[in-house]
C-alpha cells in the first residue's frame, strides 16, 4: 500500500504538479484501495521516469548496463533493486552510446536478471505493472523485447476478464532538437516492437511521452521548485507523466453520482493499444458541452497528440467542488457525448471533492495507432540520414583538397627491421670459472693524484 500523499516526504518538486484532490480527505481515507502498481525502469531515460513514479511508494526496479546512471536514484530506490546488466563480451562498456542493437545483445546476455525481476513477488502481486523506457536510447530500448517477453508471461497469470494482461509501457520519444539519425532509428524500431506486442495482445496500454510536446509546455511555463531551482525540460516531462498517472489512478477512490471503479480502471489501462490521457478544467454550465468533450480529447492531451478515431476503450471523469452542485444537464449528457465522440463504450465518473476549486475533466482513450508524431520522426530520420551522408562526403572532400597524398604511406611500417628485442635469460649463461683473472696490482703512478 502506498503512503497518503499528505504524509509522503519523497514527493519533492513533484508535489507542485499534483492536483489538490490527491491531498483531500476523500482520497486520504480510501488510500488503501489505491490501485497497486510496480515499476520496471530500463536504461537511463526509463530509469528517470521510473524514479519519479517511485516517489509514490510503488516498488521500483532499475536495469541498466551503466551503474553510474542508476546512482542518481540511490535515495529513492534500494541497491538490491538497482541491477547492473554488465557484459562479458564487452566488460569495459557502461552504457551503449545509443546503440539499441548492442543494448539488445547485452540484455539477452543478462536475460536471467530480467527473469528474476519478472518473478519477484512485488511484480507478481501488483495489480498493474509499468515498464518505463526512452525509445531514443540504446540500453533501455534494446532491453525492451527481453523485459516484455518475461513480464508478459508472468503477468498473464493475473489476466483480467477477457484475457487482458495488466502490463503497460510508459515510453518517451525524441524531440526535434535531439540531433542525429540514431535517436529516430531507435524510436521507430521501438514503436514497431510495441505495436507487435499490442497486436499479439501480450501487453495492455502504451503511454507515450512526446518530448516535443513537453518542450512546448516547458517553454510556456517553466517549473521551479519552492526554493527557486528551475527544473529541466526532460525532468519536467517525467514529472508530468507521474502526476497525471497518480491523478487518474485515484479516480476509483472517489464517491459520486457515477463511479469509475477499480476494475473499470484496470480494464481500461490493460486494453491493448495506445493510451491518451487528457485533462481540462475550463468548463462552465453554459458552455457547449459537446464541444467541450471534443476539445478535451482532441486538444487537451497531456503527453502526446493522437488522431482520435476507432477508439477501443475510453473513460471520462468529472470532478467538481463540493460547494457547487453540478448541472443535471452535464451529468446526463457527458456520457452520451463522450461515447459518441470516441465511438466506443465509455466508463463514467462524476464525483465531488472538498479540495478542488474548479470543475475538472479527465479523459482516457485507448487507440489502435501511435501518436501522430510518428510521421514527423520518419521525416526527421530521412533528413538526418541525408545530413550525415553529406557530412561524410564533406570529410572525404576535405581530405582530398589538402593535396597531401604523397604522405599517405608516411606512417606505414618501415622495411628496416629493428634489432631491438628483449633478451632471454638463457642468453646470459656465462661460465665464470674459465674467465682469466688479472693480477690486481697498484702501480706507483696510480698514486700520483692523491692530494694530501
pTM recorded for the entire structure: 0.84
Residue 440 lies in a domain: no
pLDDT over 90 (residue 1): no
Quick one: average pLDDT of 284-308? 84
Of 81, 43, 46, 79, residue with least CA distance to 60: 81
Residue 51 lies in a domain: yes
* pLDDT band at residue 452 using 50, 70 and 90 as cut-offs: very low
* pLDDT band at residue 446 using 50, 70 and 90 as cut-offs: low
Residue 416 lies in a domain: no
CATH number reported for the structural domain that contains residue 331 in this entry = 3.40.50.1440
Write out the residue range of the structural domain in which residue 172 sits: 5-9+24-381
Quick one: average pLDDT of 285-289? 68
* pLDDT band at residue 126 using 50, 70 and 90 as cut-offs: very high
Higher confidence at residue 406 or residue 120?
120
Q: Please give the order of strands across the beta sheet that includes 167-173.
A: 82-84, 60-64, 37-42, 128-134, 167-173, 205-210, 273-280, 360-367, 313-321, 346-353, 256-258
Distance CA 5, CA 249 (A): 13
Distance CA 92, CA 83 (A): 17
Tell me what pLDDT residue 229 has: 67
Tell me what pLDDT residue 356 has: 92
Question: What is the domain count for the chain?
Answer: 1
* Helix locations, 221-281, DSSP H: 233-249, 262-269
Residue 426 lies in a domain: no
Tell me what pLDDT residue 222 has: 65
Say which range, 40-54, 337-351, 422-436, has the weakest mean pLDDT.
422-436
Residue 442 lies in a domain: no
Residue 438 lies in a domain: no
pLDDT over 60 (residue 275): yes
* Helix locations, 314-449, DSSP H: 328-342, 373-401
Tell me what pLDDT residue 26 has: 95
pLDDT over 60 (residue 171): yes
Residue 398 lies in a domain: no
Coil, strand, or helix at residue 276?
strand
Residue 423 lies in a domain: no
Quick one: average pLDDT of 260-274? 97
Amino acid at each position: 500500500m502506498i503512503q497518503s500523499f499528505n504524509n509522503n516526504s519523497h514527493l519533492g518538486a513533484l508535489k507542485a504538479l499534483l492536483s489538490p484532490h490527491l491531498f483531500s480527505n476523500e482520497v486520504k481515507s480510501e488510500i488503501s484501495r489505491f490501485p497497486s502498481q510496480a515499476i520496471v525502469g530500463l536504461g537511463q531515460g526509463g530509469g528517470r521516469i521510473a524514479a519519479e513514479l517511485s516517489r509514490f511508494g510503488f516498488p521500483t526496479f532499475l536495469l541498466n548496463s551503466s551503474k553510474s546512471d542508476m546512482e542518481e536514484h540511490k535515495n529513492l530506490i534500494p541497491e538490491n533493486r538497482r541491477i547492473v546488466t554488465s557484459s562479458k563480451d564487452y566488460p569495459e562498456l557502461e552504457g551503449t552510446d545509443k546503440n539499441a542493437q548492442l543494448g539488445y545483445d547485452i540484455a539477452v546476455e543478462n536475460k536471467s536478471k530480467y527473469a528474476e525481476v519478472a518473478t519477484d513477488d512485488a511484480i507478481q502481486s501488483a495489480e498493474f505493472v509499468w515498464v518505463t523506457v526512452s525509445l531514443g536510447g540504446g540500453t533501455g530500448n534494446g532491453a525492451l523485447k527481453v523485459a516484455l517477453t518475461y513480464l508478459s508471461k508472468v503477468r498473464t497469470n493475473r489476466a483480467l476478464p477477457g484475457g487482458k494482461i495488466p502490463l503497460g509501457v510508459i515510453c518517451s520519444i525524441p524531440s526535434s532538437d535531439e540531433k542525429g539519425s540514431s535517436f529516430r532509428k531507435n524510436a521507430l524500431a521501438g514503436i514497431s516492437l510495441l505495436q507487435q506486442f499490442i497486436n499479439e495482445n501480450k501487453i495492455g496500454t502504451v503511454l507515450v511521452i512526446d518530448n516535443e510536446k513537453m518542450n512546448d509546455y516547458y517553454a510556456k511555463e517553466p517549473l521551479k521548485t519552492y526554493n527557486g531551482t528551475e527544473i529541466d525540460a526532460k525532468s519536467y516531462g517525467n514529472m508530468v507523466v507521474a502526476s497525471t498517472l497518480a491523478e487518474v489512478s485515484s479516480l476509483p477512490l472517489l464517491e459520486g453520482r457515477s463511479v469509475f471503479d477499480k476494475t473499470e480502471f484496470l480494464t481500461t489501462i490493460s486494453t491493448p493499444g495506445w493510451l491518451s490521457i487528457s485533462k481540462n478544467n475550463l468548463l462552465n454550465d453554459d458552455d457547449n458541452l459537446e464541444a467541450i468533450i471534443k476539445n478535451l480529447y482532441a486538444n487537451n492531451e497531456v503527453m502526446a497528440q493522437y488522431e482520435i478515431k476507432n477508439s477501443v476503450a475510453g473513460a471520462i471523469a468529472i470532478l467538481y467542488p463540493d460547494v457547487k452542485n453540478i448541472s443535471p444537464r452535464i451529468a446526463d449528457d457527458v456520457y452520451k457525448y463522450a461515447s459518441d465522440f470516441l465511438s466506443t463504450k465509455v466508463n463514467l465518473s462524476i464525483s465531488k471533492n472538498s479540495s478542488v476549486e474548479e470543475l475538472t475533466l479527465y479523459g482516457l482513450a485507448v487507440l489502435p495507432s501511435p501518436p501522430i508524431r510518428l510521421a514527423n520522426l520518419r521525416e526527421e530520420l530521412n533528413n538526418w540520414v541525408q545530413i550525415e551522408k553529406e557530412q561524410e562526403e564533406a570529410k572525404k572532400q576535405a581530405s582530398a583538397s589538402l593535396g597531401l597524398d604523397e604522405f599517405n604511406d608516411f606512417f606505414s611500417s618501415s622495411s628496416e627491421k629493428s634489432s631491438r628485442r628483449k633478451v632471454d635469460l638463457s642468453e646470459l649463461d656465462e661460465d665464470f670459472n674459465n674467465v682469466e683473472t688479472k693480477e690486481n696490482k697498484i702501480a706507483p703512478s696510480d698514486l700520483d693524484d692523491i692530494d694530501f
